[in-house]
Amino acid sequence: QSVLTQPPSASGAPGQTVTISCAGSSSNIGAPYDVHWYQQLPGTAPKLLIYGDNNRPSGVPDRFSVSKSGTSASLAITGLQAEDEAHYHCQSYDRSLSASVFGGGTRLTVL
Amino acid sequence: QVQLVQSGAEVKQPGSSVRISCKASGGTFSVHWVRQAPGQGLEWMGRIIPLFGTTKYPQKFQDRVTITADKSTSTAYMELTSLRSDDTAVYYCAKGVVICNNYGCYREYNWLDPWGQGTLVTVSS
């Protein structure tokens, strides 16, 4: 069981907007600690997608954005493209566990 | 851009140990280890700041994981002992950001970038 909770799957048609949630608690996201997001294409290592407050590494398009409220965070992908089909993982820090924690990952399917 | 290169796949018997290497160079940073069991999410196993050799582990892995670093070869290692079948997973190293001076590191950020290519460890009799 992951400390952060993500839906196992999400889907959308090309051009649509999809939102993936990441639910935590008062000891991690709500503490508040930063939430980071990773994209994992099939058969590859995770890649940093967004870190901290909506910071995107070089090369990540602004179609990807995040929001945070209370003990939850969300990743929004606008203008969905076929190449966005991947697993998405959220990460934060948990002060009770004194550890980095991840969500279980969400598999995004582009219809 | 720092690149992380990991050692190759391993097949181990239950009860044995495995040691995985991760070569990373270029500046001051932390090296984290994260694993992913088949079809599962990511799990943080600990980290080391190679410059000072300081480590941190989650309680779950404190008794079975040892992370070390060889500054002369810019290589970090993760050893997992008392292997069980549920340790079968892909193990990744990844770079974290730390801000340090001559006396130690006073700021740490836990986002991870980049990641190594992963090392598959299969535990089977």
Query: Residue B123 pLDDT > 90, yes or no?
Result: yes
Interface contact A41, partner B, CB < 8 A: no
Query: Residue B28 pLDDT > 90, yes or no?
Result: no
The model's confidence at residue B1, banded by pLDDT at 50, 70 and 90, is low
pLDDT in tens, A42-97: 999 999 999 987 899 999 999 999 999 999 999 999 999 999 999 999 999 999 99
Tell me what pLDDT residue B83 has. Answer: 98
Tell me what pLDDT residue B27 has. Answer: 80
Which residues from chain A sit within 8 angstroms of residue B117, using beta carbons? 45
pLDDT more than 90, % of chain B: 87
Tell me what pLDDT residue A73 has. Answer: 97
State the DSSP string of B35-68. EE-TT--EEEEEEEETTTTEEE--GGGTTTEEEE
CA closest to B117 among chain A residues: A45
Contact A105 B112 (CB under 8 A): no
Query: Which residue's structure tokens are 């051009």?
Result: A15
